[in-house]
Structure 1
């Protein structure tokens, strides 16, 4: 089966490309430079030319802070691009898998968010992604929307690689401790979507709709950073671990407001497909070992400075 992968240059998209053959699937990679999903004519032309059997959309405007000042661009990709893919997929008679985000919620709940909970994004990024979900739901009858959170991996820019870089440069770091979420390995997201694509290719019926899938258990950014440095130190990826100090969101202001609570309930997805969330600490170990094997060490300098 041929899968059109939009956003093939991103964290999840590159993992899909790397892993597709292992599932017996052919991935047709399209980076943003090769296919701008905000251009409906380009989307239609690409699908007509390549004739894929399924589309995986990992393309998005993901820079949360920049979205506040690049509103039009964020909506063009996250809302209009998603809608264009949904309409073209429906016209072609093929399914669409789409990645969304925990940022569609306000982050004020005291329980893990389920798919039926009230949304309430606090910034442009979350609002544009929610609008994209709605576009797909209206346009494409066979869609699978996966909301996830705190994505990290070997490719691209993410929290893990940022912490490794800063940990190499500094002896002390301050990290927000009052935002709670679920770190999720990009490779695991790729595996989940490819497994469901394989089931579809085998003729199995999928329960289409909106789902949550992310790593477990929940933690704070501070907890995440401490574990990154602990594991990196153990395998020699960092010569020593910096001291990590917990701070509040108010002490680290950003242009976009982040949800204080980004914990997603994945039970509906697990019940529908029999695929359980992964332990993010185990996945983190694999990512750090991959980075070590690739010699993606942060910086050669051992100079230390206080944050």
Structure 2
């Protein structure tokens, strides 16, 4: 039997990342991407059954099974008052998912976030740097990482940041809407990060997954994958206005103090992609180049 094809289960398949992963399905790469209505990560029985079905279907068809977990509770502000629900989705769900993957010998790639770090650095965070989340969302994502890595499954954690895509709600879509509604828009200029197009991230996750099932995966179990370079939300917003053909001077800088939120945002959440590249994986393109490609794809 030739093991030259892949079967991938993507919990969270109707989110912006999940949809971009599903779009990478091909004759040699079966991707099943159920949304929460089809596969609720907080339902242990459903999760165990889904992983078992994946393993049976894949091996029966001569394919190699893989799970990429794109499901998460990502409402950062809401998590401050609903941490129990965030914990159920971001910790309990991945724990059961990882245990099922371990039982069926299915590799697992689990997507995490820059919010696991405190955001007080001045140079890019390395995967091995000590976490120190300052939000309920960040705490649950950090605990989810621990649950996955401690499960005994062949598992990898991929942290990313500032994700936007064609589906769901995100910063790019918000700026596009505000450009049409307001003469000027104030955006914080003292929070630094790396915008990441979900389509590019999906490509990177599939590349990692294929390296895992081919036996080429690096020893590192925690890596970072973001768009190249860094900017501020203000710089990101100006670039979005440029792509819209609007005057970027209509974007005005402000401070975090002028725009308070229930959950504190990290002042610095740039993640180092060096270990990703050192693992033999392809670096994502620079964030500005990716943003242009995102708008070009939207216009097609």
**Superposition TM-score, scaled by structure 1 size:** 0.90
Consecutive unaligned residues of structure 1, counting only runs of 5 or more, are: 294-307
Match of residue 162, structure 1, among 161, 174, 178: 174
SS of 1:139's partner is coil
What is the distance in 1 between the residues matched to 2:212 and 2:274?
Answer: 21
SS of 1:257's partner is coil
Change (3 A) 1:25 1:67: same
Does the 8 Å CA contact 1:20/1:194 hold for their aligned counterparts? no
Does the 8 Å CA contact 2:108/2:153 hold for their aligned counterparts? no
* Aligned positions of 1:102-251 closer than 5 A: 102-207=114-219, 209-233=221-245, 243-251=250-258
1:206 Cα shift?
4.4
1:265 aligns with 2:277: no
Residues 220-278 of structure 1, C-alpha deviation per residue, up to 9 Å, x if partnerless? 00000000101221xxxx6x667111000000000000100001111111101232232
Does the 8 Å CA contact 1:143/1:208 hold for their aligned counterparts? no
1:302 corresponds to which residue? none
Consecutive unaligned residues of structure 2, counting only runs of 5 or more, are: 1-5, 59-64
Match of residue 38, structure 1, among 32, 37, 42: 42
What is the distance in 2 between the residues matched to 1:219 and 1:46?
Answer: 40
1:296 corresponds to which residue? none
1:305 corresponds to which residue? none
How many residues in Structure 1 have an aligned counterpart in Structure 2? Answer: 287
What is the distance in 1 between the residues matched to 2:137 and 2:258?
Answer: 22
What is the distance in 2 between the residues matched to 1:203 and 1:117?
Answer: 27
Q: Over the residues paired in the alignment, what is the CA RMSD in angstroms?
A: 1.5
1:208 Cα shift?
5.0
Residues 131-182 of structure 1, C-alpha deviation per residue, up to 9 Å, x if partnerless? 0000000003411110010001111111111100100111100000000000
Change (3 A) 1:116 1:198: closer
**Superposition TM-score, scaled by structure 2 size:** 0.92
Change (3 A) 1:197 1:150: same
SS of 1:99's partner is strand
2:62 corresponds to which residue? none
Residues 27-51 of structure 1, C-alpha deviation per residue, up to 9 Å, x if partnerless? 0121111111112111011122332
What is the distance in 2 between the residues matched to 1:275 and 1:41?
Answer: 36
Moved over 6 A (4+): none
2:15 corresponds to which residue? 10
What is the distance in 2 between the residues matched to 1:39 and 1:79?
Answer: 13
